[in-house]
Copies of this chain bind each other. A is one copy, B any other.
Amino acid sequence: MKATGPIPTGYESIDGELAIGGLPASVLAEKSGDTPLFVYSSAHLRKRVEDTKSAMPKRLALHYAMKANPYPPLLALMHGLVDGFDVASGGELELALVAGVNPNQISFAGPGKRDRDLERAIALGVTLNCESEGEVERAIAIGAKLNICPRLAVRVNPSFDLKGSGMKMGGGAKQFGVDAERVPALVRHILIAGAQWQGFHIYAGSQALSADAIIAMQAQTLDLVVELTQAIGTSPPKVNLGGGFGIPYFPGDTPVDINAVGLALDVRLSGLPESLADTHFCIELGRYLVGEAGVYLTRIVDRKISHGETFLVTDGGLHHQLAASGNFGTVIRRNYPVAIANRFDAAPTEVATIVGCLCTPLDKLSDSAHLPRTDVGDLVAIFCAGAYGASASPANFLGQGPAVELLV
């Protein structure tokens, strides 16, 4: 038997079934017309945004990093809840516009922006988080061609990273941003060129669960902002402090203490020098806002025994849940939180391995989990499916195609 991750709070049962948005899993599966499906809870999303805003300092704006989940109805909902969107490609930019986001609420990061992406963003008045000197040059040239003054922020590659983070985006040689020591010269160049300098984007890492680590990173980020501002001699209009707030996926993981993070940040922001009094600060969160609001539901199509082990074969798999299968950015496979959705209240009585329908041994959704007794037709729920699920998995692998998505 292997442990499974903690089921996020906010999920209850109706008539013994897992319910999302007040609807039992079996009703959701019927409503969607097919399994597998992703269900996103708008109540969960709203509450998470509310809790985050109330924990963070009043001065801090909250942006949504839409790379975590670009499902259009979810974007439209988030648009009404947050202060801005961070996009990571020309494709994401178009989706944000369709969701009704105003271009001046959008910032665009990403190390491989093409000229056509820059043109579109500059024409719209989107803020570019420039990742290199070369990108700044291209943006200035395109602005001149279009006769539009581009809005340029500089993404800084900090010399520190986010301790205990699942993904480090700073601290050493990186493809992201401009090494901190070259930033003052680049900003002066932007100012001299007459572009609208928008400030800094400093993103040191993601998926940390330790409040202390996030507090330390934010403190270092603010110190760097003070230092850069001093070196440049001009105050940044905006500073994006990045994200880094993780969610519990695996056995033993515990939630980030966001109140502790918010309190520490409040103290730090209050202590900033006068030169940063008019600067707008924001954080950008993706996974933290939407990850736990999503559940992947897949139906058991076969139940079989091999060499004494029980396998539950589902109609889903890694083509929708690459990260849950342990094949995306993880070295050692561990189990995401899982349940039998239509037996949500039943006590576990057997150990079984849940696999997907693909013809590859990589397609494992839960290894030797302790579960209630199941039959063909039962629904498996994989939690923490709201971020980096549908859009971060190879949907067309083995001719499968995408899952249904529902916002309830």
**Are A113 and B394 within 8 A (Cβ)?**
no
**A114 adjacent to chain B (CB < 8 Å):** yes
| Residue from A89, A313, A359, A394 whose CB has the most chain B CB atoms within 10 Å | A359
**Are A395 and B396 within 8 A (Cβ)?**
yes
Question: Within 8 Å CB of A172, what residues of B?
Answer: 306-307
User: Nearest-CB distance from A107 to chain B (Å)?
Assistant: 12
- Choose among B91, B112, B359 the residue that contacts A109 (Cβ–Cβ < 8 A): B359
Question: Within 8 Å CB of A302, what residues of B?
Answer: 111-112, 131-132, 134-135
Beyond A394-B394, A399-B70, A400-B91, is A175–B355 a contact (Cβ under 8 Å)? yes
A356 — nearest CB in chain B belongs to which residue?
B112
| Residue from A131, A302, A314, A322 whose CB has the most chain B CB atoms within 10 Å | A302
**Are A301 and B113 within 8 A (Cβ)?**
yes
Query: With the chains together, A353 CA to B301 CA distance in Å?
Result: 44
Query: With the chains together, A314 CA to B113 CA distance in Å?
Result: 9
**A343 adjacent to chain B (CB < 8 Å):** no
**A79 adjacent to chain B (CB < 8 Å):** no
**Are A306 and B400 within 8 A (Cβ)?**
no
**Are B306 and A179 within 8 A (Cβ)?**
yes
Query: With the chains together, A131 CA to B322 CA distance in Å?
Result: 23
Beyond A167-B362, A376-B134, A398-B88, is A111–B308 a contact (Cβ under 8 Å)? no
| Dominant secondary structure of chain A at its interface with chain B | loop
User: Nearest-CB distance from A309 to chain B (Å)?
Assistant: 4
**Are B304 and A359 within 8 A (Cβ)?**
no
User: Nearest-CB distance from A24 to chain B (Å)?
Assistant: 22
Complex interface bits, A358-377 against B, C-beta within 8 A gives 1, otherwise 0: 11111100000000000010
**A73 adjacent to chain B (CB < 8 Å):** no
**Are B358 and A398 within 8 A (Cβ)?**
no
A300 — nearest CB in chain B belongs to which residue?
B112
User: Nearest-CB distance from A357 to chain B (Å)?
Assistant: 2
In residues 305-341 of chain A, which contact B (Cβ within 8 Å)? 305-309, 311, 313-315, 317, 322, 327-329, 331
Q: Contacts A112-B358, A131-B302, A179-B305 known; list 8 others, CB within 8 Å.
A: A89-B398, A94-B399, A112-B314, A113-B357, A132-B304, A134-B304, A172-B306, A173-B308
